[in-house]
Amino acid sequence: MAELASFSDSYAEARKKFVDAARRAGAKLASYQHPEERGPGGEPLFLDVSVLGPGSASRVFVVGSGTHGIEGYPGSAAQRAWLRGRPRLPKDTAVVFFHAQNPWGFAHKTRVTEENVDLNRNFIDFSRPLPANPGYDELHPAIAIRDWNEAAVAGIFASLDAFRERNGEKAFSDAFNGGQYSHADGIFYGGARAQWANNAFRAAVETHLARARKVAYLDLHTGIGPWCEHVYLCFHPEGSPARARARAWWGERAVNLQGVTHKKLATYSGTIIDAFAAMLPQAEVTSIVVEFGTRPRQEMQRASMAQRWMRFEGPRDPVLAARVRREYEAAFYPAEPEWRTAVLEQSREFIDRGVAGISAS
Ligand SMILES: [Zn+2]
């Protein structure tokens, strides 16, 4: 029987549950506090790191939650439930959980950071010219609606469809959600500087993983895939040993995009898994993104537009903004017990398989 009590309604509640579960499991904890920002109730914000097993282990399996803020609620529940399952670790293996990688977004129930930045597009080299995304530049005026109503949203989708017809699915995905660095009030904005959450993540990786020889990183998300099912996104190149490891640990579905509802995946800029691997050149790194499916792709695209509207236009119409917010939150953090049960059951299994895989490799 899955423990739905692992799910939380606020960041503070999720953090407390995570920290308590980590302590009870015998994990060591480290916390990185945001020096300026707070949650909506004035609560302090942290990236919390739990280390279960020997700090000197040469094999480390890492699970991250909340790269996309609000998506951290189910990720946090998966981490807490796994810690409460009396885990027994193989020899020379540690399990490290990064809790709330974007705590501001987690607390404020949005995917982005305090600067409207998608943390998973923010890990680029800001000393070099920013990546261009001319497709997004073309789409932005249509996306940036002032009033939220069904006619306006339909107008956005008409523009997106026209772009897709002219340029194809891949160009559409690159433009829409590959990441853009030109419109701070747009969607999938990668930022103009490294976010605090980016620097905190880097500090945590350096502190806790620099000695490991074999490291795996599983980053938990929601919003891609069928309802109540998880899908894997593996970005290791075809034919690489890392891709072969992912297949050995989680099966063919780890690499064949089974269940992925995007017609074409974008080429993403500045992802956290790429930064993770680049920071650990001494280690053999295996990384994977796991998404829990929620709503159909078009509803998730609508949610992206809703987030932008709420932030930049919503304050003029708080009543409507509250309604849009409920729809937005349900898209990334469904309340249905069957969905939450599926998250706990499936996450226990794929975390266990990853831990077994890295210890045997
Ligand atoms: Zn995500």
pLDDT band at 2 (very low <50, low <70, confident <90, very high): low
Is there a contact between 290 and 235 (Cβ–Cβ < 8 Å)?
A: no
65 Cα to the center of ligand 1, angstroms: 9
292 Cα to the center of ligand 1, angstroms: 9
Q: Which of 337, 338, 229, 349 is nearest to 292 (CA)?
A: 229
pLDDT beyond 90 at 265: no
Q: What pLDDT is stored for residue 259 in this prediction?
A: 82
148 Cα to the center of ligand 1, angstroms: 24
C-alpha separations of 188 from 115, 232, 266, 286, 302 in Å:
12, 21, 12, 25, 13
Q: What pLDDT is stored for residue 3 in this prediction?
A: 85
* Arithmetic mean of pLDDT, 111-139: 97
Q: What pLDDT is stored for residue 361 in this prediction?
A: 81
54 Cα to the center of ligand 1, angstroms: 30
pLDDT beyond 70 at 1: no
56 Cα to the center of ligand 1, angstroms: 31
- Comparing 149-153, 183-187, 262-266, the range with the smallest average pLDDT is 262-266
* Arithmetic mean of pLDDT, 351-360: 96
190 Cα to the center of ligand 1, angstroms: 14
188 Cα to the center of ligand 1, angstroms: 11
319 Cα to the center of ligand 1, angstroms: 27
332 Cα to the center of ligand 1, angstroms: 9
How far is 257 from 135, CA to CA, in rounded Å? 25
18 Cα to the center of ligand 1, angstroms: 20
How far is 176 from 203, CA to CA, in rounded Å? 31
60 Cα to the center of ligand 1, angstroms: 23
* Arithmetic mean of pLDDT, 225-237: 95
Is there a contact between 48 and 100 (Cβ–Cβ < 8 Å)?
A: yes
pLDDT beyond 70 at 206: yes
107 Cα to the center of ligand 1, angstroms: 15
Name the pairing type of β-strands 214-222 and 28-38: unpaired
Q: What pLDDT is stored for residue 356 in this prediction?
A: 97
* Arithmetic mean of pLDDT, 122-143: 97
pLDDT beyond 80 at 177: yes
pLDDT band at 266 (very low <50, low <70, confident <90, very high): confident
Q: What pLDDT is stored for residue 264 in this prediction?
A: 78
Q: Which residues lie near ion ligand 1 (Cβ < 5 Å)?
A: 68, 71, 221
With H, G, I as helix, E, B as strand and everything else as coil, classify residue 183: coil
187 Cα to the center of ligand 1, angstroms: 13
* Arithmetic mean of pLDDT, 193-221: 97
91 Cα to the center of ligand 1, angstroms: 32
92 Cα to the center of ligand 1, angstroms: 31
pLDDT beyond 80 at 261: no
H helix or E strand, kind and range, residue 329: helix 318-332
* Arithmetic mean of pLDDT, 239-244: 97
* Arithmetic mean of pLDDT, 350-357: 97
pLDDT beyond 80 at 329: yes
333 Cα to the center of ligand 1, angstroms: 11
The string of pLDDT tens digits covering residues 40-84 is 999 999 999 999 999 899 999 999 999 999 999 999 999 999 999
159 Cα to the center of ligand 1, angstroms: 24
- Give me 201's structure tokens: 């993540």
Residue 342 β-bridge partners: none
